[in-house]
A and B are shown apart, each in its own frame.
Chain A
Amino acid sequence: MDYQTALSFALPIAVSIAAIGSGLGLGKAVGSAMEAMGRQPEAAGKIQTGMIIGAAFIEALTIYALVGLLLLMGKIGG
């Protein structure tokens, strides 16, 4: 197996594994935020701001995997 075949198998798997982790993290974060908002609707604005920032940090990890894919995609060729 040459490196191009290895890359074309590995890159989508890498991104999907990162997406699984991010999905679990986001589900937990947003779920807790929704629970908090339901319990205290008057603090919804502040909770939402915090939630969006936290979600951005979690999501960034998948984006790093995606950036890695974008950088290495040119090496597959074709």
Chain B
Amino acid sequence: MFNKLLFHVLTATQGAAEHAANAAEHGASAEESHELPNLITLINKSFAHHYDALIYAGVVALFMIVVAVITYRKRQMIPGPLQNLVEMIVEGLYNLFESVMGKENARKFTPFLGTLFVYIWFMNLVGLIPLFKSSTSSINTTAALAITVFLYVQYTGIRRLGPWGYIHHLLGSPTDAVTWALAPINLPIHLVGELAKPFSLALRLFGNITGEDILIAAFVSLGIMFMGIFGSPIGFPFQIPFILLALLTSTIQALVFTMLSTIYFFMVMPHEEHH
């Protein structure tokens, strides 16, 4: 059964290469075609190919919802193992956000930012399970997350600073004649800076996770080719050290996305009360 699976993997990889060639002829980008095939692409290459990221994002979200509901329903004074784990994650995240944005803001934003971290973390990690795919290795997923953060940050800015305060902030918070004179120069700089944030967030996560997945896929096919010399249908697991490395980078990239979002939130808030 395992041999058959590997055969499928190998043929599907070749199919992906052909698909990339076809896509290149038609001028479309072939961003997902160099990765290992997953369950969806193995079942139906033509129909579900572009929806696999969406489906696995849904699977991860469903898993998170189920864990949250179970933990919430069965909460006790003396926590069981699951409740202990969830409490540990939530408390750790809360302490992290508190160290950046202060107590009140951390209380307000931990539900959003903490969910963001756990969601991205699980989406990164799920790609390391065979036949699963990291949804974050599709630019659509990361762009959606980054746009959500961008809109929420701007909303928070307008809400906390007021419309005029927000424009004042975009002008570089001018106070005297010199800074008011420089305000017209500051405005485009700030606007471009605000618009560059979601791009950099989305591209960083997408590039890291895609690079990681392509690296693993390349070493899997290298292992299959290497053992193919001896006529073995099972590949040599060259990818194991890179999977261990990917465990590390998945966590770090989720953390970086969340920390940068936290800092973007902190930057649009009025600053007097936090010092």
Contacts and interface: CB of A to CB of B under 8 A. Distances in A.
Q: Do A and B come from one complex?
A: yes
Contacts, number: 59
B99 interface: yes
Interface in A16-53: 45-46, 49, 52-53
Contact of A71 (B17, B29, B200, B204): B29
Interface residues of B, number: 29
Interface in B65-103: 96, 99-100
Interface string A48-78: 0100110010011001101100110111111
A63 B260 contact: no
A73 B33 CA distance: 11
Contacts of B165: none
Interface string B9-31: 00000000100110111001111
Contacts of B31: 70-71, 74
A74 B252 CA distance: 29
B214 to A, nearest CB: 8
Interface of B: 17, 20-21, 23-25, 28-31, 33-34, 96, 99-100, 200, 203-204, 206-208, 210-211, 252, 255-256, 259-260, 263
Interface of A: 45-46, 49, 52-53, 56, 59-60, 63-64, 66-67, 70-71, 73-78
